[in-house]
Structure 1
C-alpha cells in the first residue's frame, strides 16, 4: 500500500516523515519524496492518527487522484531544480510525461486548472528561488549558476531573474535583505 504525502520536498522531509510513521507505529518499506510504501494496509484509525501527527509538521495525506498528480508534478520539479537540473537532457514537458506516464497536455491542463498557474511558470519560480539561494551563499559566479541551472547564458538568467523579482542578480546580491520564499509557499 502507498500513501501520498503533500509537501515532502527534501531528504530532511523524508527523515521527519519516517520518524512520524515510527512514532505512530506504522511500518514502512520505502519512503520517497511525496510517497510512502507501507508493509501492510492500515486502518482508518491509524490513518487518522498519522494525519494528525503529520499536519503540525506541514505535511498532509493526499487522497484524491488530482491532488496526487499535482503533488507529483511539484515534487518532480522541485527535485529537478534542487538536485539535478543540469541533468535535464530533454525539455520539461518530456521529463514530466516520462516520469508520470501521462500526456503532457493532460498534466498541463490539470496543473493550470488547480494551481492557477502554468507548469512552466512554477518551474521558473523554483529556479529563481534556487538562484536566490546560490547568490546568497556567494560561492558560485553568475555564469556558474547559469550553467548549473541549465540556462543558455548569464543574460538569459539575468533577464528571467529581473522579470520575476524586479531586481538584477547583482542588485539582489547587494541587498541581502530580501528573504527567500519557502518551497511550499510558491
Structure 2
C-alpha cells in the first residue's frame, strides 16, 4: 500500500444533499480513496499516492460529478455565500422569518456583510439580494407544488411581511400569479446549482 495523503477540495456547485450522497456512494467502493468528510462546498479525503494523482482525483470530481475544483479565494467565498443562502432558505425550517439574511450570512462566513455583497456583485454581476430573491422564489415554487401550506403560511415561512408582498415579488420574478402557477405548475423549480 502506498503513502496516504490528505486532500481538501473546495467544489463549485456542491450545494445539495443529494450531491453529498452521490459522492459518498461513489467512493464507498473505490479502493485507494477514502472520504474523510463531505460537506456542502467541500470534500476532504485520503488517497493512495501510488494509485491516484491529484489531477486524477480532480478529474473525477469535475468530469464524473460536474463539481469544479475552486482555487481562487474569492470564488470560494461566492460558493460559501451560495451555500449559506441555500441552507437558510431551504434547510433552516422557518428560520428565514426569524433571522435576517445579512446576519446569518455574515455570521456563517465570519466576514462583514458589506464586504460579502461587494465580492458577490463584482464576481457574479448580480447583487446578493437578487440571488437571495432567486433562491427564495425557487423555494416558494417547491412549497406551492407540495400543496402542504397555504400562501399565508408560505409568506410567513419565507419572511414576507404580507401575502401581497410575496405575491407581487412572485409575479415580478416568474411572470405568473401564484394561482396561475399552481394551476399549470410551470415553470418547475430550477435546480439550485443552476440559479445564477
1:180 aligns with 2:189: yes
CA deviation digits over 1:15-66, x for unaligned, max 9?
Answer: 11223444373223221111123358979x5332222222232211111101
Alignment of 1:14-163 (within 5 A): 14-22=20-28, 23=30, 25-39=32-46, 46-55=53-62, 56-84=64-92, 86-88=94-96, 89-163=98-172
Give the CA deviation at 1:98.
0.9
CA distance in 1 between counterparts of 2:70 and 2:60 reads 14
CA deviation digits over 1:111-137, x for unaligned, max 9?
Answer: 001111011110010010111111122
Task: Quote the residue 2:14 is aligned against.
Answer: 8
Give the CA deviation at 1:178.
2.0
CA deviation digits over 1:75-100, x for unaligned, max 9?
Answer: 11111111116214432122111111
- The answer to whether the 8 Å contact 1:85/1:149 transfers is no
Structure 1 residues 24 and 163: CA distance shift in structure 2, 3 A:
farther
Task: Quote the residue 1:165 is aligned against.
Answer: 174
Q: CA RMSD in A?
A: 2.2
CA distance in 1 between counterparts of 2:84 and 2:191 reads 16
- The answer to whether the 8 Å contact 1:73/1:96 transfers is yes
CA distance in 1 between counterparts of 2:138 and 2:157 reads 14
Larger radius of gyration: 2
Give the CA deviation at 1:4.
0.9
Unaligned ranges ≥5, structure 1: none
Unaligned ranges ≥5, structure 2: 1-6
Higher helix share: 1
Structure 1 residues 24 and 151: CA distance shift in structure 2, 3 A:
farther
CA distance in 2 between counterparts of 1:20 and 1:174 reads 39
- The answer to whether the 8 Å contact 2:32/2:47 transfers is no
Q: Figure out how many residues of one structure are paired with residues of the other and give that number.
A: 185
CA distance in 2 between counterparts of 1:42 and 1:118 reads 42
When normalised by structure 2's length, the TM-score is 0.84
Give the CA deviation at 1:154.
1.2
When normalised by structure 1's length, the TM-score is 0.89
